[in-house]
Amino acid sequence: MHSKYLILGSSHAALEAATAIRFHDVDSAVTLLTRDARLPYSPTILPYVVSGRSQPDNVVLRNEAWFRDNAVAFVPGVTVVAVDPAQSCLRLDSGETWTYER
């Protein structure tokens, strides 16, 4: 697989990186790989959900529509086991490899 921009993780920083990339480059492939099985969420809101002071929907940072509307490929449930920056590639625990430019 290949993506011009490859982002690892789904934290606030990763999501802001995707937003900034789209601001400067609206056409190139942007992919976000994350080991999380679900959409990006805010762990700081989880105690409020558990205590009943907030709804579970409030923890989601970006929904599926955001990824679709911003043409960001969201790949959940994958684990990166090796990164080779000299070759601009990485390997997942499944054996799948990704190449990237940035």
Percent of the chain with pLDDT over 90: 76
The yes-or-no verdict on residue 56 having pLDDT over 80 is no
Q: Does domain 2-100 have CATH number 3.30.43.10?
A: no
pLDDT, tens only, 65-94? 999 999 999 999 999 999 999 999 999 999
- Is the Cα dihedral 72, 31, 12, 9 positive or negative? positive
- Label residue 53 by pLDDT band (50, 70, 90): confident
Q: Provide the pLDDT for residue 15.
A: 96
